[in-house]
């Protein structure tokens, strides 16, 4: 069974640009969550999508948005990039019901110059 796939693995952008990251969940998983990891901050929850609807949202500005498609694949978009957006962005998939384990992809490393 294939794991969670994130593309691209690495990205370099400049301030003010926008970026789109992609996540393909494990087959059969309907929930996709996105997290941001920065040094010393652990993993911060961005949002969660379930059956194409945003079900939960973290405390990030509106520049961070996402969507989920009918095949459960998800994209995350960051507009007007800032230097502080440089981070590892991780997506996790699960069945989406109570107590299910979230399985993570390898992440996309975003560097904003």
Partner 1 sequence: DQQVKQNSPSLSVQEGRISILNCDYTNSMFDYFLWYKKYPAEGPTFLISISSIKDKNEDGRFTVFLNKSAKHLSLHIVPSQPGDSAVYFCAASPLDGNEKLTFGTGTRLTIIP
Q: Which residues bind partner 1 (CB under 8 A)?
A: 4, 6, 31, 33, 35, 40-45, 48, 50, 55-56, 58, 90, 92, 94, 96-107
Which residue, 14 or 51, has its beta carbon nearer to partner 1? 51
- Short-list 104, 100, 97, CA closest to 33: 104
Task: Provide the minimum distance between the beta carbon of 27 and partner 1 in the complex, in angstroms, as a whole number.
Answer: 17
Task: Provide the minimum distance between the beta carbon of 14 and partner 1 in the complex, in angstroms, as a whole number.
Answer: 24
Alpha-carbon span 38 to 89, nearest angstrom? 9
Alpha-carbon span 100 to 86, nearest angstrom? 29
Which residue, 10 or 70, has its beta carbon nearer to partner 1? 10
- Is residue 14 within 8 Å of 86, Cβ to Cβ? no
Which residue, 14 or 22, has its beta carbon nearer to partner 1? 22
**15 φ/ψ angles, rounded to the nearest 5 degrees:** -55, 140
- 44 to 28, 34, 47, 90, 101: CA distances (angstroms): 25, 9, 10, 10, 17
Which residue, 13 or 45, has its beta carbon nearer to partner 1? 45
Task: Provide the minimum distance between the beta carbon of 55 and partner 1 in the complex, in angstroms, as a whole number.
Answer: 7
Task: Provide the minimum distance between the beta carbon of 15 and partner 1 in the complex, in angstroms, as a whole number.
Answer: 25
């Amino acid at each position: 069974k294939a794991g969670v796939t994130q593309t691209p693995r690495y990205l370099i952008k400049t301030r003010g640009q926008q970026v789109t990251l992609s996540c393909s969940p494990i087959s059969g998983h309907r929930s996709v969550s996105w997290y941001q990891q920065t040094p010393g901050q652990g993993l911060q929850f961005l949002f969660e999508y379930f059956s194409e609807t945003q079900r939960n949202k973290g405390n990030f500005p509106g520049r961070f948005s996402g969507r989920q498609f009918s095949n459960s694949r998800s994209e995350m978009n960051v507009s007007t990039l800032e230097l502080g957006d440089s981070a590892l962005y991780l997506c996790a998939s699960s069945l989406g019901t109570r107590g299910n384990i979230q399985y993570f992809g390898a992440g996309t490393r975003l560097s904003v110059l």
